[in-house]
Amino acid sequence: MTLARLRSSMIVLYHQKDRLWLVIWLGGMILLWLWNLVFLNRPALAHLEAAFVNTLAGGLSVVFFSLVLGWSIGVSLYFLEQARGRVFYLMLTFVLNVVRSIPQIVGILTGYLFLTFFIEREILLNPYSQILFMAFVISLVVFQELVDLVRERIEYHKRLDFFHAMLCCGIKESRIVNIEILWKNSRSHMLHKLISIFGIAVFLQCSIDFIISVGLSTDVSLSNFPATLGSLLAKMDSKQDILAIGTVLSDIRFMGDLFVEHLQGISIAIIIVFTLLCVYKVSNGFVKRLNL
Amino acid sequence: MKYKIIEHSLSILFVVIIFGFLLVTIRGGEQSQQIAHTRLIEPYLKLNFIDFGSPLHAALFKETLDIFYPRQPGRNDSLVQAIQAFRQEQFTNPAYKTGDEKRGLTPLRLSKLGRMYLQFIAVYVVVMFLTYNGAQSLAIYRFVKMKQFKTSYLVEVIENLKTLRMGGSGALIRIPVLLVKAVVKGASYAVLFAPAYVIAYSFKTRIDTDTYFFMVVLGVVSNGLLINYANKFYTFLLSESHKGYVQTATVKNLSTSYSWGGKDGITYLAVLRPGRMFPTHVFRHIYVNGRYQYLPTLKEHASFLITGLIIIEMALNIQGHLGYELLQNILYKQYDVVIAIIVGIYLVVKATEIVVDVWQYRESQKYENRT
């Protein structure tokens, strides 16, 4: 009976690819952690755990900030567009377009410069506040995808009859937009976009932390920043672990050593790549399951 | 179209003015800071009998200061530190080390940056062309596979195992082949999603990773760029394939076969070739319409691609590249050079946006039968 139930739930899971890949990701992470528990030394494992948690916290914070920014600015643009004088609408659109044309890396580097400045002046010394600050900066360069989606969803629903019917019934336009259109009818679309944003956030955070391993100021040490997967990968021992992959590519006999002796760097690389792959699969599965 | 061009021009003007203002402010601030800084330590540096590199001399100097200014230990410490920092800068600052020209945005540095900038644009154009076409090829391949109702290799392995259990001997050969295919697919996914620096460091001991060729390869395959934009293009193809005109085209006897090769099917060459043509096939219309919708995505593609290229240049620490120069100048606080590089990068994105808008405009003219 239990076996049959397990089998049926497995079949259901197989057809719901987003949930399947979420389970695969969780399983993969647990398996990797167990492996590291056996073969990786304790201090390195502690660093890895902290970096993993910080990176995930950073990614989730980016998602939160992007949601707040995307929703509020998307709705504001809609109402400003309808206002009699469209000066504010044009100004906001113009600024958003300027920001959109700045490559993400440039925006984030600028954010890190500010972070360095704040650390120098002992304003942002708490590691959690540093993570939140950087998450906010990353969200500033990725949130526009959500603004586009919010505007697209409002435009789409505005063409439908229910919008005008509700207006005729005396329901406030802000309520129709925020509750009826965005909350009740666009939640899944926004969730899909937020999943993609999470993937981009993890990628950007790891990349930027890796490349600033040389530092962004001669006055502030990188050790003042909270550890993330990118910064941990930038350390010399992790880099040597990654370099060891090259040895395996030329001599397959070293494959065994790779997963025992070079665990720190390999684990970080696996976490980053596997997480990005799973986010992509979850996002695609989500679209398929909900017919978005 | 005019409105778009005006908007782009205004954006460029706005950014150039903002950064120009910042540039002037920073240069003015740096100069006055430098003068004030040097004025403070200059008299002490002129004392030829003191060797600040010697710990004994440094300690004696500190004690002398404490005697002359007994109630100002903070000021004395700062002064000693400022002298040490000045001496250290002479060793660490690349301008001093290489006997290069003065700090900041000098004509010589500008000409060097100009060369790097042109190289950066060349790499960008090549990678853009390759990823644009690569993303389309990957998306079309995936679309055709979907139309062929292909399941994953692992599911096929399970099905073959069932056949094997029932006595089908052919499955014995198919299973290892499918497993190899699954491993290759998994490895390809790993490469496509891997950040550039992970791939680069994996190969660093075996090949020269500082070449332009390697940079282009990394730019195309890594950072999830190709796979994500292929996915976007695939979404457009999928949504187009559900539209009514596809059924009309089918009724008009266009081919609907998605088998590889053959007279009516889709050829591998057609999928890979940049100027894709699928004559007498219904997919031709799906593709053309999907590509039209994909065009605006090229703008964010450009921005993400530049991010990827800068990450590659910075992560690999390749001297003489724009990304490396950007990071070094941030580190040594030469913000005027940083601003010049950022404005240059911004202009590349803007130029791409203008090209995309003009391209889209021309395509829309075709759609509206105005040409």
pLDDT at A12 (0 to 100): 82
Q: How does pLDDT run across B113-142, given as a tens digit for each residue?
A: 899 999 999 999 999 999 999 999 999 999
ipTM here? 0.86
Average pLDDT for A99-125: 84
**Angle formed by the axes of helices B322-331 and B335-367, nearest 10°:** 140
Please report residues of A whose CB lies closer than 8 A to that of B345. 103, 106
Q: Please state, rounded to an integer, the average pLDDT across all residues of chain B.
A: 84
Closest chain A residue by Cα to residue B307: A105
Across the interface, do A243 and B204 touch by the CB < 8 Å criterion?
Answer: yes
Which of B202, B304, B345 lies at the smallest CB-CB distance from A246? B202
The nearest CA of chain A is from the CA of B126 a distance in Å of 18
**Residues linked to residue B266 through DSSP beta bridges, in sequence order:** B260
Q: How far apart are CA B250 and CA B228, in angstroms?
A: 30
CATH number for the domain harbouring residue A150? 1.10.3720.10
Q: How does pLDDT run across B262-272, given as a tens digit for each residue?
A: 777 888 888 88
CA A193, A152, A77, A166 torsion-angle sign: negative
Please report residues of A whose CB lies closer than 8 A to that of B304. 103-104
CA A132, A57, A208, B20 torsion-angle sign: negative
Residue A247 backbone zone (phi > 0: left; psi -120 to 50: alpha; other: beta): alpha
Across the interface, do B310 and A105 touch by the CB < 8 Å criterion?
Answer: yes
pLDDT at B224 (0 to 100): 87
- Residue B315 backbone phi and psi in degrees, to 5: -65, -35
pTM for the whole structure: 0.84
Contact residues, chain A to chain B, C-beta under 8 Å: 94, 97-98, 100-106, 109, 113, 145, 199, 203-204, 206-208, 210-212, 214-218, 233, 239, 242-243, 245-247, 249-250, 269, 272-273, 276-277, 280, 284, 287
| CB of B119 less than 8 A from some CB of A | no
Q: How far apart are CA A29 and CA A52, in angstroms?
A: 10
Across the interface, do B306 and A246 touch by the CB < 8 Å criterion?
Answer: no
User: Which residue, among B6, B159, B198, would best test binding to A if mutated, counting the most A CBs under 10 Å from its CB?
Assistant: B198
Which of B195, B317, B350 lies at the smallest CB-CB distance from A206? B195
Q: How does pLDDT run across B142-186, given as a tens digit for each residue?
A: 999 888 888 888 888 888 888 888 877 777 888 889 899 999 999
pLDDT at B274 (0 to 100): 81
Closest CA to A134 of A114, A152, A154, A161: A114
Q: How does pLDDT run across B13-35, given as a tens digit for each residue?
A: 888 888 888 888 877 776 777 67
| CB of B121 less than 8 A from some CB of A | no
Please report residues of B whose CB lies closer than 8 A to that of A104. 303-304, 307
pLDDT at B15 (0 to 100): 86
- Residues of B (69-108) whose Cβ lies below 8 Å from A: 92
Average pLDDT for A133-151: 93
**Domain presence at residue A161:** yes
By the 8 A CB rule, do A149 and A193 touch?
A: yes
Which range is most confident: B70-84, B196-210, B236-250?
B236-250
* Tally of structural domains, chain A: 1
Q: How far apart are CA B27 and CA B7, in angstroms?
A: 30
Q: How far apart are CA B278 and CA B258, in angstroms?
A: 11
Across the interface, do B202 and A104 touch by the CB < 8 Å criterion?
Answer: no
What percentage of residues in chain B have a pLDDT greater than 70? 94
User: Which residue, among A10, A146, A207, would best test binding to B if mutated, counting the most B CBs under 10 Å from its CB?
Assistant: A207
Question: What CATH number does the domain located at B107-149+190-367 have?
Answer: 1.10.3720
Which of A97, A207, A280 lies at the smallest CB-CB distance from B311? A207
Between A39-53, A225-239, A276-290, B95-109, the lowest mean confidence (pLDDT) is in B95-109
Alpha helices in B148-168 (DSSP H): 153-165
Pairs of residues, one from chain A and one from chain B, whose beta carbons lie less than 8 Å apart:
121
Across the interface, do A101 and B11 touch by the CB < 8 Å criterion?
Answer: yes
